[in-house]
Structure 1
């Protein structure tokens, strides 16, 4: 496929798979927007293979997860070697890699995240949780930073980009506790459940809702810290990229804040952010993008592995 055809296929993928990301991506300049779409299409396809989904829809049983992960690794390696794969989503990651200085270690780290999901992995400790969040989302923040022009050796800015991905994933985990439980998954650390005296697999029972709400409160506070850190890093980006990042940060931060505000009712139905609220964040973020960078240190926050350690 030509580059233009790959971009168009990727545009259709993001429009179908994530309205929030599609909206935020339109704030980028065209070259950045197109590379972001290409990266998204590969991420979406890999995630769907690992989870037995179609653009993030209902999960189906994956009978041979190891084969799916092997397919992801093989097709990705082929694309990174500059060879056509027969699948536009995988050709897209090859295109992005050629157009940017994308470290292949980031791509490998994300594939590790897909493998963790396909193996129904669950965390024992908070550090396990954050390590998982890095592999499925924090590293995507790093990859998007490279797409937006951040140098791969700018560790400080990449740390902040990773923090945004961590905030996104922690917000998703807080929102999706019930949905994950329905398919036999739990991303709440076992240590937290033990401390709350909740038996394994029982956290969605009605009489544990109060304790579950306490965990959601803690997750929301974590989201707030990582979101605040990411806002500092956004100041290093070009204006339109900064605007997009700040809008996405506000939208996903609202997911966690809404879960926290709903308390025990947070999982009665899926928490969504209205289109009007999203547009409000787009306007608010434009103002934030021209303000001086906020001050927020990273002391006490989890730090991603360096490229040399990946």
Structure 2
């Protein structure tokens, strides 16, 4: 087994444990794309875990000395992108996929910018703040994933749609994980949204505020749906297998946001998950969607997106 094969095997294990939804969708890619997606995921997961003191996600751990861990992420990333061995499997994964696809330091720095916000204890005050955070931790990852799939850095239109898919994913995560984030002293719901609902940020899970929080979930779901619809338009520009994988991921993650919205005030009594049967259903539906034109309602919904990707000159 070559060193690359060993890294791919490790990356596959990381995505299988760290993101069952994305793992299911990733299996639909052709082998080369699938392996590269796993390699990039491994870096993203490892960076997130280092900053949050986690092990493949889950409960947040010890966040003391987070500044030094952020510097560790930056240093290992820089080293990996030179092609050197880092001594950390996930960062070596980044080195391999970057060499194969042309991922750049500024692209990685855009993602690390989100970890820096977390490390500083930052909280969004406005919707624009929240969306900028989503850009760093998920939209920029979407751009990198698109480049991994072979999209040219010059094709900013398709890259913007890829960014939108990442934004939709992160908006779903924010609403699903309100309880976990609150327990860790974090909140990614904009402060002005909470104020409009009369919800104190330090007591947002109080049963007295559940109806107001559920209304925010509806608002977040609508925002996620607009970016998901935009991403579906971009997926039409990909090869068939890539389109199938992306539409599957969009359906599965979109289901998280929709379920949170449907559950109302009970959405945070237990973690919202997408069952294996529902995942299979979204994968089958996505296969059909690859053969159909973009529905008019998707184009209308996509008009509700309100975030524009930063000038791509910043990250190429």
Give a deviation string over 1:47-90, Cα, whole Å, max 9, x none: 00010000012221121011001000001101101111011100
What is the distance in 1 between the residues matched to 2:291 and 2:212?
41
Give a deviation string over 1:190-235, Cα, whole Å, max 9, x none: 1111222222312111111111011000001011111100000000
So what's the TM-score if we normalise by structure 1? 0.97
Following superposition of structure 1 onto structure 2, how do residues 29-48 of structure 1 map, counting pairs within 5 Å? 29-48=30-49
Counterpart residue number, 1:153: 154
Show structure 2 runs of 5+ residues with no match. Answer: none
Please point out which of 307, 310, 314 is paired with 1:309. 314
What is the distance in 1 between the residues matched to 2:305 and 2:44?
29
Alignment of 1:184 onto 2:189:
no
What is the distance in 1 between the residues matched to 2:162 and 2:150?
12
Q: Does structure 2 retain, via aligned residues, the 8 Å contact 1:46–1:72?
A: yes
User: What is the CA-CA distance between 1:12 and the residue it aligns to?
Assistant: 1.1
Secondary structure in 1 matching 2:164 = helix
Give a deviation string over 1:89-109, Cα, whole Å, max 9, x none: 001111111101223322110
What is the distance in 2 between the residues matched to 1:300 and 1:37?
28
Q: Does structure 2 retain, via aligned residues, the 8 Å contact 1:103–1:152?
A: no
Q: Does structure 1 retain, via aligned residues, the 8 Å contact 2:110–2:136?
A: yes
Secondary structure in 2 matching 1:266 = helix
Aligned residues: 310
Q: Does structure 2 retain, via aligned residues, the 8 Å contact 1:105–1:307?
A: no
So what's the TM-score if we normalise by structure 2? 0.95
295-304 or 267-276, larger mean C-alpha shift: 295-304
What is the distance in 2 between the residues matched to 1:175 and 1:98?
35
Secondary structure in 2 matching 1:4 = helix
Q: Does structure 1 retain, via aligned residues, the 8 Å contact 2:124–2:130?
A: yes
Following superposition of structure 1 onto structure 2, how do residues 94-133 of structure 1 map, counting pairs within 5 Å? 94-133=95-134
Alignment of 1:230 onto 2:246:
no
Please give the root-mean-square deviation of Cα atoms over the aligned residues, in Å: 1.3
Cα gap change, 1:257/1:300 in structure 2, threshold over 3 Å: closer, same or farther?
closer
Secondary structure in 2 matching 1:54 = coil
278-287 or 196-205, larger mean C-alpha shift: 196-205
